[in-house]
Amino acid sequence: MRTAVGFNRVFIRGLILLAIGTLSCATVHPDGEPPAVPPMPRNALLAALGQLPVFITDQTTDGRNIKLRGLVANPFPDPVDGVRVVFRMLAAPDDAARELDRFQKIMHVQLAAGARAPMSWDIQTMYAGVGGSRFTLEAFAIKCGDQVLPLPPDWKE
């Protein structure tokens, strides 16, 4: 019992020293300017644009046509009115890979908070049967609550 109490004291003291050390590591620039804000990571940027989770429940291809079936969900506490969906065919299984083809569509659907809506999309592309390629499928809310959200990256009107 005595060693457990001693361990807890040492552990708490260590946490306090770590917190003090972290707080004392603030960077001060000689000209008084705060450090530059790093660029927003892609995931944070997409979340700010109202990205919605997409669940693919079935995909079929014959080498030229891709048939996608799935669900789009609303994780926000406010209702979503309208969804923009972007399909990107990439040359390799890497987000930075060259984009071979791109398709986009608008789903005229209303999603309550926490609700899901079915998605069905038949896409024709000559890259469907290319070995080593992959695709991404992203969905973005058009309007969340009373707020109209900005267009997704590279969206073409």
Q: Average pLDDT in the 24-28 region?
A: 43
The better pLDDT of the pair 44, 1 is held by 44
Residue 97 has φ and ψ, to the nearest 5°, of -70, 160
- How far apart (Å, rounded) are the C-alpha atoms in residues 106 and 58? 20
pLDDT of residue 154: 82
Q: Are 90 and 98 spatial neighbours (Cβ–Cβ below 8 Å)?
A: yes
User: Each residue of 97-134: pLDDT tens digit?
Assistant: 898 999 999 999 999 999 999 999 999 999 888 777 78
Q: Are 77 and 147 spatial neighbours (Cβ–Cβ below 8 Å)?
A: no
Q: Are 83 and 74 spatial neighbours (Cβ–Cβ below 8 Å)?
A: no
pLDDT at 85 over 70: yes
pLDDT of residue 33: 52
List domains and CATH numbers for the chain. 42-148 (2.60.40.10)
Q: Which structure tokens are listed for 46? A: 């997409």
Count the helix, strand and coil residues of the chain and give each as a percent rounded to the nearest 5.
20, 40, 40
**Mean per-residue pLDDT over the chain, rounded:** 78
Polymer length in residues for the chain: 157
Contacts of 82 (CB under 8 A, 6+ apart): 106, 107, 108, 109, 110, 141, 142, 143
pLDDT at 43 over 70: no
Q: Average pLDDT in the 28-56 region?
A: 62
pLDDT band, residue 36 (cuts 50/70/90): very low
Q: Are 95 and 136 spatial neighbours (Cβ–Cβ below 8 Å)?
A: yes
Q: Is the dihedral of CA 69, 75, 81, 86 positive or negative?
A: negative
